[in-house]
Amino acid sequence: MILTILLYFFASVFIVLGFMMLFAYRRSRHKGLVLMSFVYTASGIAAAYSLKWWILVAGFVVVWLLKLAGYDPDKPAKGAVERSGNHPPGGA
């Protein structure tokens, strides 16, 4: 019983994290965020549906493999606009 509750909790955390990454994609336009968002959300939904904990672990490993492959959103995407700071859009 307690393990089922923990599984549902972590699955819902994965689903929320996936949606948050999808909303972050709107600002950064980094394609890695879409891929990682899909993996987090899909693994959370699949784990909650099938009640298998290893699906969450597999989703986490796939996301880390995507980060190691260079899809990490820490680096700006090619052609992305820098939107940090209070600088006007064409000025110094």
The DSSP secondary-structure symbol of 51 reads T
* C-alpha–C-alpha distance, residues 36 and 23, integer Å: 12
CA distance 3 to 51: 10
Residues 6 or more apart whose Cβ sits within 8 Å of residue 81: 29
Considering the domain boundaries, does residue 48 fall inside one? yes
Q: What pLDDT, on a 0 to 100 scale, did the predictor assign at position 29?
A: 85
Q: Which domain holds residue 14?
A: 2-68
- Give residue-wise pLDDT tens across range 28-45: 888 889 999 999 999 999
| Residue whose token pair is 């994965």 | 14
Between 28 and 77, residue with greater pLDDT: 28
Residue 91: pLDDT over 90: no
Domain count, the chain: 1
Residue 24 covered by a domain = yes
pLDDT of residue 5: 95
Asked, for residue 79, whether it belongs to a domain, the answer is: no
pLDDT for the residue 79: 59
Distance CA 44, CA 87 (A): 39
